[in-house]
Structures are given as structure tokens and as C-alpha cells.
Amino acid sequence: MPPRALIVGLAGARLSAAERAYLEGADPWGVILFARNVESPDQLKELTAEIRDGLSRADAPILIDQEGGRVQRMGPPHWPAYPAGRRIGELYTIDPQAGLEAAHLAGRLIATDLAGAGINVACIPLLDLRLEGMDQVIGDRAYDSDPEIVTALGRAAAEGVRAGGCLPVIKHMPGHGRVLCDTHYALPVVDLAAHQLRRTDFAPFRELRALPLGMSAHVVYSAFDSERPATVSPSIITQVIRSEIGFDGLLMTDDISMQALDGAVEQRACAALAAGCDIVLHCNGDAHEMERLAEAVPHLSGRALERAEAALAALDGPAAPAAPAADVTYERLQALLAKAA
């Protein structure tokens, strides 16, 4: 039987007996890790091996948010501190070629770090726009306010991630930069007209629609659905993400335990799947919620299963071309960033 349409978090740095039993019984498609799960390279390699042993799938997706800046689950002293997207965007405005090299190099170095620890999915690039006056939940995580710059740097970063041995995830579809509150705590509403959204927020996702993995946004776009956020909106997923943007990869939700969504966690999951998401992402490691999700969330089937299989096949396929520069080091990345200091 195919795995369940679910990605779950874990409570700590060791896989408990109860969590192992859960992985064996519920069979989620993958696991997402956070700073609470990370202590050292050896510990992390042991944890990822235990996860895959529990799932009995050598290619089971293990994900992590490793953007750089303030969103970096693996950091010093064991791993480098990577730059926030804004720093790479600022470099691009000064020297576009250096910016593209830095985006590719950061993606590649991050993926190399992850692959060395047994992680095969990097939840980057972030394709949201950095817009003045908006909530800083995105803020300096984003490359720029210009969709063309975000597209160029996002493409370079995604190619770097593939060159480093991981799968990238484009997020947060169809755009999260234009919000006035943090989706961890509240539900934002974007009232911009549809034609303006198509030209701005949606554009980077449309340009990178061929990538195999994407993540939804818990954001209401009133031009398309005045009540429901994208994650649980059939019209936004069908009309915007699948049709207008043209994304046919595996669409996972953003974390369904965020307060932007209403209802019990299993109701949120079912609403997201009914709306057209392929996979439910549940991050907090709460065992009781995870058990309820195992009962409510079905196994992958149909197009969702095909998309999941295609994503893993892309991981096994040829990696993106290596960077032209032979110097694939953190020191080279620092030297590039110094140009914009």
C-alpha cells in the first residue's frame, strides 16, 4: 500500500519508541525536522537513519527549512550560518552575475550539508516577494520585491539544491509576501486585484512551475476566494495554482497546526486534501494530533501518488548542472556577499 498523504514532525532529537511505532503503523510519506530535532552531525545522521528504518523506505522524504538568516534549523557550531534571501537579493542589484552565483552556491552548500545528514528535501527556495509595510513573517527571508529578480535567484537556488543532492520546494504558493499578519497566529487577507496578483506575487511561481514540489500558503486572496485561505480553497488551488500558474507537482500544505486555519487538526487536513492539496504537513510533533491525522488522512492515490512518485524519481535522476565556478565553498559565498556589504 502507498504511504499516507502526510508529513509529520517529531518531538525531539531522538526517535522515541512511540514515534517509531507511529511511523511503522501510520506510514506517513515523510518527516520534517526542526531545530528541536538537531544536536550534532552524528546525532542527526542517526536520527534520519532511524526514521527511514521505521518507514521501511530508503528514499523516504525527510525535509527541513534551511533558508539561511533567521530560518535555519541546522546552524553553528556544526554547520555554517547562511545568508537570508535579502542579502543575496541586494548582491544581485549590485552585480547580477555575482547574485546568481551566490544563490546557486548557497543552495548547493545547504543541500550538501543536508544530504550529509541524511536529509533529502530542502524547503527552499522562498519565492514570496519582499514588500514594504507588510508583516515581517516573510520580510528579509525574501530575495526582492521584483518578481523577475525573485524568479532568477529562485531558479539559481533550486538548481544549486539539486546539484547538492536534494529536492527543492517552492513556497508559499501562490505568494505570501503581501500579508499584514503572521499565519502562525492569525489569518491574513490579501485584497489586491487578480490582474495585479498575476503580474506580481504569482509570477515567480509561474516561471518555476516545472519544479516537482511546492508548498501552499495559509493566505486568503479575496479576488479568488473571499473566505478560505489557499490551503483549503478549491478555487485557488484549481484555478490559480494548477491552472493559471500551471504547477502540476506535488503540493503540500504549509503547517496545518498554524493558527491561520480553523477547526480540529483532522478537519483542517481533510479540507486541504478536498481542496486539491496532495500532502498534509503537520509540524509540531504532538502525538495526539498525529494519531488523529493517521485516522483521518488517506493513503496516497491517483494524481497525488503519481506526483509523489515523480518527485522521488527526480531525486534519483540527474542533478542540475554544477556551478561554472570551481570554487564551491562557503568562503567563496562569503566573498561574494562581501561585495554588497
**Catalytic member of 42, 59, 184, 262:** 184
φ, ψ for residue 31, nearest 5 deg: -135, 140
**Which one, of 81, 106, 79, 80, lies nearest residue 92 by Cα?**
106
Contacts of 93 (CB under 8 A, 6+ apart): 99, 144, 149
Grid cell for residue 12: 525531539
**Spatial distance between the Cα atoms of 300 and 28, rounded to a whole number of angstroms:** 10
φ, ψ for residue 218, nearest 5 deg: -85, 65
**Catalytic member of 254, 255, 278, 282:** 254
Q: What is the DSSP letter of 167?
A: E
Active site residue 104: no
**Which one, of 247, 321, 257, lies nearest residue 277 by Cα?**
247
Active site residue 146: no
**Spatial distance between the Cα atoms of 15 and 215, rounded to a whole number of angstroms:** 26
Helix ranges (DSSP H) in 27-134: 41-55, 85-94, 96-116
Which run of H or E residues covers position 275? Answer: helix 265-275
User: What is the full DSSP assignment across 186-254?
Assistant: S--EE---HHHHHHTTTHHHHHTTTSSEEEE---EETTT-SSS-GGG-HHIIIIIIIIIS---SEEEPS
Catalytic residues: 184, 254
